[in-house]
Structure 1
Amino acid sequence: MHKIQNMYKNESTAERALPLVDQAFIRLRRDVLSGNYGAGAKLKLDELQTAYGFSSSPLREALSRLAQEGLIRADERRGFRVADISPEDLADITRMRVMLDVPALRESIANGDDAWEALVVGAFHRLEKIESRLGDGPVVLDDDWTQLHSAFHASLLAACPSERMRTWSASLFDQAERYRRYSARFRKTARRKSNEHRKIMDATLRRDAKTACALLEDHILSTERNVMAVLGAATERAGRS
Structure 2
Amino acid sequence: MYEKEQPTRTPPLVDQAFAQLRRDVLGGTYGAGAKLKLDELQTAYGFSSSPLREALSRLAQEGLIRADERRGFRVAAISAADLADITRMRVMLDVQALRESIAHGDDAWEAAVVGAFHRLEKVEARLGDGPVVLDEGWTDLHTAYHMALISACPSERLRTWSASLFDQAERYRRYSARFRKTSRRKSNEHRKLMDATLRRDADTASALLEEHILSTERNVLAVLDQVEHRQQTG
What TM bracket, shorter-length normalisation? over 0.9
Following the alignment from structure 1 to structure 2, what is the Cα–Cα distance between the partners of residues 128 and 176? 20
| Match 1:141 to one of 134, 138, 142 | 134
Following the alignment from structure 2 to structure 1, what is the Cα–Cα distance between the partners of residues 52 and 58? 10
The Cα shift of 1:192 comes to: 1.3
Matched, 1:26 2:22: no
For 1:23-82, what per-residue CA distance to the aligned partner results, in whole angstroms no more than 9, with x for missing partners?
A: 111110110000011101110011000001111111111111111111001124151110
Equivalent pair of 1:138/1:191 in contact (CA under 8 Å): no
1:61-210 paired onto structure 2 within 5 Å = 61-77=54-70, 79-210=72-203
Equivalent pair of 1:137/1:189 in contact (CA under 8 Å): yes
The Cα shift of 1:137 comes to: 4.6
TM-score (norm 2): 0.95
**How many residues were matched structurally?**
228
| Match 1:226 to one of 219, 225, 228 | 219
User: Which 4+ stretches in 1 moved above 4 angstroms?
Assistant: none
TM-score (norm 1): 0.92
Residue 67 of structure 2 aligns to a residue whose secondary structure is strand
Gaps of at least 5 residues in structure 1 are 1-12
Match in the other structure for 1:8:
none
Following the alignment from structure 2 to structure 1, what is the Cα–Cα distance between the partners of residues 172 and 47? 28
C-alpha RMSD of the superposition = 1.3
Gaps of at least 5 residues in structure 2 are 1-6
Letter in 2 for 1:176: A
Q: Percent same amino acid at aligned positions? A: 82
Following the alignment from structure 1 to structure 2, what is the Cα–Cα distance between the partners of residues 236 and 103? 37
Equivalent pair of 2:129/2:182 in contact (CA under 8 Å): no
